[in-house]
């Protein structure tokens, strides 16, 4: 029901997640080395900030798909 913006470096995280071949293969090692630890930390910290309720927005499309309307206060 809620959405949030993607964290910084999220595309790098997704690209690493899609690396095939399993852990400890040459492909995996190269991908791991290409993803700086600082980017991982920044992405996690930004994700923690963005998923906080105050930073989220109502996903109107999702509510419409469920035939619900936004609650008003």
Q: How far apart are alpha carbons 39 and 25 in whole angstroms?
A: 22
Three-state DSSP state, 3: strand
d(CA 52, CA 61): 20
pLDDT digits (tens, 9 = 90+) for 1-23: 899 999 999 999 999 888 877 77
pLDDT digits (tens, 9 = 90+) for 21-59: 777 788 888 888 889 999 999 999 999 999 999 999 999
Contacts of residue 51, Cβ cutoff 8 Å, sequence gap at least 6: 4
Does this model's pTM top 0.95? no
Q: Which residues are CB-contacts of 49 (< 8 A; sequence separation ≥ 6)? A: 55
């Amino acid at each position: 029901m809620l959405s949030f913006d993607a964290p910084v470096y999220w595309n790098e995280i997704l690209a690493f997640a899609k690396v095939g071949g399993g852990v400890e293969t040459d492909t995996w090692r190269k991908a791991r080395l290409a993803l700086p630890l600082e980017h991982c930390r920044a992405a996690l910290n930004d994700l923690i900030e963005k998923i906080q309720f105050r930073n989220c927005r109502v996903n109107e499309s999702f509510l419409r798909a469920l035939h619900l309307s936004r609650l008003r206060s």
